[in-house]
Amino acid sequence: MAPAQVAVYAGTFDPITNGHVDILRRALRVFERVHLAVAESTTKKVVFSAEERIEMVREATKSFASPPQLVVEAFDGLLVDYVRRVGAQVIVRGLRAVSDYEYEAQMAHINRHLADDIETVFLVTSDRLSFVSSSIVKNIAGNGGTVDHLVPEVVAKRLAVTDRALLLR
């Protein structure tokens, strides 16, 4: 296999957090191009539509990345099919804590079983962001707390005007 130049960083990003941004910035230093793939269909209960999540990601990343180095788009179906479709060789996943490892390792093994030519690379989130998750952010915002230090500005503004009941479901 040739050295990887294109990677996919996929997730629901509901919403994108500073932890996600940290992983993305670091992935952009390693790979020539990164596709940030926003999952359309998910078993998770999402607050924001795929289009809204894409809009927030683009706004949050406009100061440090732009096409063609960063491609932000929605995907549906198997991640490995999307990875192949965009010509990538690597899936980037972020790890916050040891508890993330079991799930992420299982997904990496499944993806390897489905497509043994695609590698999964784990990047460990910075210490200062290791506790941040989209679920925690939605819970704090839904209970009237401040999330400005946990998410990009565009996300904090969007959460401030989102119905709290939606955030807490």
Residues involved in catalysis: 20, 44, 96, 134
Q: Bridge partners of 91?
A: 8, 120
Sheet holding 70-75, edge to edge: 70-75, 33-39, 6-11, 90-95, 119-124
